[in-house]
Chain A
Amino acid sequence: MNHIKKECVAMLLAGGQGSRLYALTQDMAKPAVPYGGKYRIIDFPLSNCVNSGIDTVGVLTQYQPMVLNEYIGNGQPWGLDRAHGGVHVLPPYETAAGKSWYSGTANAIYQNINFVDRYNPEYVVILSGDHIYKMDYSKMVDFHKTHEADATIAVLEVPWEEAPRFGIMSVNPDGTIYEFAEKPKEPKSNLASMGIYVFTWSKLRQYLIDNENDAEASKDFGKNIIPAMLDNKEKMVAYHFDGYWKDVGTIDSLWEANMDVLDPNVPLDLLDDSWKIYSRNPVMPPHYAGLSSKIENSMIAEGCEIEGDIDFSVLFAGVTVEEGAVVRSSIIMPNSVIKKGAVVEYAIIGEDCVVGEGAHIGERPELVEDKSQWGVAVIGHHVNVSDKAVAPPKAMISKDI
Chain B
Amino acid sequence: MASMANVLGLIFANMHEQTLPELTKTRAMGSVPFGSKYRLIDFPLSWMVNSGMTQVGIITKQNYYSLMNHLGMGSEWDLARKTGGLHILPPYGRESAKVYRGRLEALAGAAEFISESNAEYVVMADSNVVANMDLRPIVDFHEKNEADITCVYGRAAYPEERALAQTVLYVDANNVVYDVLARPAISGEMNVALNIYVMKRKFLESLIRESECRSLYSFETDILQHKLRDYKILGYKYEEYFEIIDSMKTYYKATMDMMNRDICREVFSLDTPIYTKVRDVAPAKYGIDCNVKGSLIADGCQIEGTVENSVLFRGVKVAKGAVIKNSIIMQDAVVEENASFVDAIADKDVTISKDRSITGSENFPVYISKGATV
Contact = CB atoms under 8 A, between A and B. Distances in A.
Contacts of B295: 288-289
B160 interface: no
Nearest to A291: B294
Given A283-B275, A285-B264, A293 B293 contact: yes
B3 to A, nearest CB: 24
A294 B295 CA distance: 12
Nearest to A305: B261
Given A270-B282, A271-B281, A286-B297, A296 B302 contact: no
Given A283-B275, A296-B288, A301-B299, A288 B261 contact: yes
A381 interface: no
Interface in A264-318: 270-271, 276-279, 281, 283-291, 293-303, 305, 310, 314-318
Contact of A271 (B289, B297, B302): B302
Nearest to A314: B283
Nearest to A294: B291
Contacts of A85: none
A299 B312 CA distance: 15
B287 A296 contact: yes
Contacts of A299: 282-286
Contacts of A305: 261
Interface size, A (range): 35 or more
B292 A302 contact: no
Question: Which 5 A-B residue pairs are closest in the complex by CB-CB distance?
Answer: A270-B282, A285-B268, A37-B283, A301-B283, A286-B36
A36 B281 CA distance: 11
B296 A288 contact: yes
A166 B147 CA distance: 74
Contact of B286 (A277, A288, A297): A297
B282 A271 contact: yes
Nearest to B36: A286
Given A279-B280, A290-B293, 18 more contacts: A261-B282, A271-B285, A286-B298, A286-B311, A288-B295, A288-B297, A289-B307, A290-B294, A291-B294, A293-B293, A295-B292, A296-B286, A296-B287, A296-B289, A297-B287, A299-B284, A300-B286, A316-B283
Nearest to B270: A284
Nearest to A76: B75
8 contacts: A261-B282, A271-B282, A283-B275, A284-B270, A285-B264, A289-B293, A291-B293, A300-B284
Interface string A162-194: 000000000000000000000000000000000
A77 to B, nearest CB: 7
Tell me which of A277, A302, A317 has the highest count of chain B C-beta atoms within 10 A of its own C-beta: A302
Q: Is the interface of B mostly helix, strand, loop or mixed?
A: loop
A190 to B, nearest CB: 32
B299 A302 contact: yes
Contacts of A295: 286, 290, 292
B47 to A, nearest CB: 14
B78 to A, nearest CB: 10
Contacts of B109: none
B30 interface: no
B298 A302 contact: yes
Contacts of A328: none
Contacts of A316: 283
Contacts of B294: 289-291
A316 B299 CA distance: 11
B142 interface: no
Nearest to A38: B283
B261 A286 contact: no
Nearest to B296: A286
B278 interface: yes
Contacts of A303: 270
Contact of A287 (B274, B297, B302, B307): B297
B300 interface: yes
B91 interface: no
A303 B264 CA distance: 11
B84 interface: no
